[in-house]
């Protein structure tokens, strides 16, 4: 599933992000066969969030990054590198939304995982 997600970005990286969203949501329906907190479902939400973020649709990006974080927190150990990236991505979205307090909170969480 992760390789499918990666391949989805290749032909559309500079073209139609909405097409990528549709394709990613299609992979998420395939993921329904997996447990709700399976890491591949988290990866799919992360990829959806990245596309929304590239479209400057930060509210939808935040929804999917938070879903990614919830899945990762249940699937991985507390210091897993994916958690660092997700907190960093969430911090970036909050920064883009000019919600600096929340951005700092997530940036600090990312740094604390690394320590």
Q: What is the reported pTM?
A: 0.76
Residue 7's Cα: distance from chain center in Å?
16
| Superfamily grouping for domain 2-114 | Tetratricopeptide repeat domain (1.25.40.10)
Longest CA–CA separation in the chain, Å: 39
User: Which positions ≥6 away from 27 have C-beta within 8 Å?
Assistant: 1, 4, 5, 8, 44
- 9-48: pLDDT as tens digits: 454 455 566 666 666 666 656 666 777 778 888 988 998 8
For 98, which DSSP code?
Answer: T
- 75-84: pLDDT as tens digits: 999 999 999 9
The predicted pLDDT at position 65 comes to 97
User: Which positions ≥6 away from 63 have C-beta within 8 Å?
Assistant: 49
- 80-107: pLDDT as tens digits: 999 999 999 999 999 999 999 999 999 9
Return the domain boundaries, the chain. Answer: 2-114
Measured CA to CA, the distance from residue 44 to residue 79 in angstroms comes to 21
């Amino acid at each position: 599933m992760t390789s499918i997600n990666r391949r989805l970005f290749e032909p559309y990286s500079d073209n139609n992000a909405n097409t990528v969203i549709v394709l990613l949501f299609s992979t998420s329906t395939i993921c329904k066969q997996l447990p709700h907190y399976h890491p591949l479902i988290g990866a799919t939400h992360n990829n959806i969030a990245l596309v929304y973020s590239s479209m400057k649709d930060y509210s939808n990006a935040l929804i999917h990054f938070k879903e990614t974080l919830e899945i990762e927190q249940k699937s991985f150990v507390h210091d897993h590198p994916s958690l660092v990236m997700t907190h960093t991505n969430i911090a970036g979205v909050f920064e883009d939304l000019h919600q600096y307090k929340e951005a700092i909170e997530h940036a600090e969480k990312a740094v604390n995982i690394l320590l």
